[in-house]
Amino acid sequence: MRSMTEPLRFHDDARAELEQSFGLTAFRPGQAEVVDSVLGGRNVVVVMPTGAGKSLCYQLPAVMLKGLTLVISPLIALMKDQLEQLEARGIPATLINSTVPELERAERIRRMRAGAYRLVYVAPERFRSPSFLDALGEVGVELMAVDEAHCISQWGHDFRPDYALLGQVRKRLRPPRTVALTATASPEVREDIVRSLLMKDPRVFVAGFDRPNLFLEVLRVSGDEERRAATARVIAEGGSGIVYCATRKQADAMQAALRLRGHDPVVYHAGMDEAERHKAQDRFMSDPSAVVVATNAFGMGIDKPDIRFVVHANIPRAVEAYYQEVGRAGRDGKPAHALLLFNHADVFTQERLIESNHPSEAVIADVWNVLQTQEVFARGQEALAAAVGASEFEVSAALRILEREGLVELQAPGAGTYGIKVLEPKAEVHSRSARALLEVLRAEAGAGGTVSASLRGLSARAELPEKDLRRALSALERAKAVSVRKPFAGRGIRALQRVPFHALDLSLERVRRQERRALLLLRRMTDYAYAKACRRAFVLDYFGEDTRHLDCNGCDVCSGSRTRIELPPPRASAKGGGSIYKSKERVAEGPMNDQAAEALRRFRRDLSRDLDVPPFILFTDKTLQALATALPLTREDFLAVKGTGGTSWERFGPKVVEICRDAREHARRAQGDAIG
């Protein structure tokens, strides 16, 4: 634990309370220093790995201080676990969130006002309620603890807008001391946490990030078949594990492919309903050999000590996200395996997603100009994207920016007032969100009564995101617990001003800044994948750790790879039993495709800049021209081009094939137009 050395003024009292209230005889490394600083009235930032005892750093001071400790956390499951542990020790605490029925929430707030609790756990969304803020102002907050504090930073890997408001909440409540805690934060994120929370002169404690029992490995793969083969090989080694995929579609495809190979993983992503997600999580937690294929929606709050491996089938978006996710393996201290399956084409996919999520001024202007032509554009975002000539993803991002600036109104399906009649359920309601919503509706209308409310209003009252609220309503309808009269079913988009785009004086600097940050974080993750020196040292350097005396035997660079993929031998051709690989001279015959040549040059130029190597190191001009002539669509065709090889296929092949496929399609269409 690193910070300024100061004498521990409260150590003896804290040590006695530690044993009396928590039954522990000694502090874990770093805890005593943090607790002493908090008790001394200092603001503190704590970066401490999961499992190192962060929660004690605010729970023990909460017991020793006389006033209220307010704990902000995005993890409802973790709140409940900690609450049960505190109650078992006789420490008065509660949580106030969407899982608590409205009448019970009111009772807990009343008891909070009366001083009945030492700790109150809330989600950051709770501060949308002015009455709750008023209640806290009346009570006074002695200690404000912000868990998962990296969510506050736009430099972080899990930025959440509600966390960005906590600085203003803190300014209003004026707690004498604040502690912000996270498991992974680079120096930039730590600085952002301090700035966003408006902390003055905080002490910053950074615990060791090194996980010696975790073997770090990167394996180059050429495409989906090799990804799946490598993943299956790791699963076959035994033990429980997590396979992370970049998208829901890829997670579903990976699960299906692994089942064909004789494995039986569960799948988990945000596209599943809540009951399905809970079922998948319960199976993973209860089965010592269970494997889950998931997006990054899975994992926060998961505390399963015997996870033996974490496989990333696609490159994550940031080193923080990657290290937090692989850190879920081996928490029992036994050996565990972290494998990243890397193909540079995934980097381009991530870059395209980042760029699409931060559209250009031209796209935003085109969207605005189309909206100016109609009072309400009622054909939806897909039609708007077609009218603009941009992707639906870009148009959706442009609309979010315009909506955030108060320039457009999005009338999504269901905009307006819902009429909801409360019935007696004909089937059991399993979803937690649905049960929470039903409690709110019953409190307002009673059995047989009707509630009229907008989706936004219901979302605030039930403390559920609108996406989860829609699912909860559907679950209640299926259980015949409610009948729903839905409002306007169209999809309207309305510009709130009738002026030319240039008259808006719209600044996109924040958008461009966020885009640069996202691309930089991805670049750092790419550097990790290409690292030729110790991977453990790379990670520790990234988080500001001293690596001068590091002795690594826990990564593929220092100790050699553990995972290997055996490719099938080349198939014989139908004639004569020879190899299917063609003559390299013959493949390069014919006219060069100019579109492919230009696209390949751009690809080589950008990659050269990103990797900081000369272009010819990637592939020579002659090889580029041969590729633009052959236009390969398969691994075999690519390898048949002079100047290529297995390594260049692994690094560049899928992207080259994508460029060549586009060029072939363009040429085919052009030929068709000429004939027509």
Q: Is the pLDDT of residue 1 over 80?
A: no
Whose tokens are 């996710």? That residue is 325
Q: Is the pLDDT of residue 361 over 60?
A: yes
Q: Is the pLDDT of residue 169 over 90?
A: yes
Q: Is the pLDDT of residue 529 over 60?
A: yes
DSSP 569-636: PPPBPTTTT-BSPPPHHHHT-S---HHHHHHHHHHHHHHHHHHTS-HHHH--HHHHHHHHHH---SHH
Give the pLDDT band (50/70/90) at residue 451.
confident
| Range of 58-62, 542-546, 576-580 with top mean pLDDT | 58-62
Rg of the chain in Å (alpha carbons): 28
**Percent helix, strand, coil in the chain (nearest 5)?**
50, 15, 35
Give the pLDDT band (50/70/90) at residue 13.
very high
Give the pLDDT band (50/70/90) at residue 171.
very high
User: Once rounded to an integer, what is the mean pLDDT over residues 19-34?
Assistant: 90
Percentage of the chain exceeding pLDDT 70:
90
pLDDT score at 580? 37
Q: Is the pLDDT of residue 539 over 80?
A: yes
Percentage of the chain exceeding pLDDT 90:
36
CB 57 within 8 A of CB 38: yes
Q: How far apart are CA 417 and CA 453, in angstroms?
A: 5
Q: Is the pLDDT of residue 572 over 60?
A: no
Per-residue pLDDT of 108-139, as tens digits, reads 999 999 999 999 999 888 888 888 999 999 99
| Range of 75-89, 419-433, 546-560, 608-622 with top mean pLDDT | 546-560
CB 301 within 8 A of CB 179: no
Q: How far apart are CA 244 and CA 169, in angstroms?
A: 35
Mean pLDDT, all residues of the chain: 84
CA atoms within a 13 Å half-sphere pointing along the CA-CB vector of 343:
21
Per-residue pLDDT of 242-256, as tens digits, reads 999 988 889 999 999
CB 580 within 8 A of CB 568: no
pLDDT score at 294? 93
Give the pLDDT band (50/70/90) at residue 300.
low
CB 61 within 8 A of CB 144: no
User: Once rounded to an integer, what is the mean pLDDT over residues 196-218?
Assistant: 89
- Start-to-end Cα distance in the chain: 73
Between 94 and 443, the more confident residue is: 94
pLDDT score at 515? 86
Give the pLDDT band (50/70/90) at residue 158.
low
Q: Which two tokens stand for residue 265?
A: 């993983």
User: Once rounded to an integer, what is the mean pLDDT over residues 434-453?
Assistant: 80
Between strands 266-268 and 291-294, the pairing is parallel
Taken in order of first residue, the domains within the chain and their CATH numbers are 11-206 (3.40.50.300), 214-342+531-559 (3.40.50.300), 350-404+499-518 (no CATH), 417-485 (1.10.10.10), 584-675 (1.10.150.80)
Q: Is the pLDDT of residue 488 over 60?
A: no
pTM: 0.65
Which range has the worst mean pLDDT, 51-60, 405-414, 518-527, 574-583?
A: 574-583
Q: Is the pLDDT of residue 608 over 50?
A: yes
Which range has the worst mean pLDDT, 7-11, 44-48, 460-464?
A: 460-464
User: Once rounded to an integer, what is the mean pLDDT over residues 390-398?
Assistant: 85
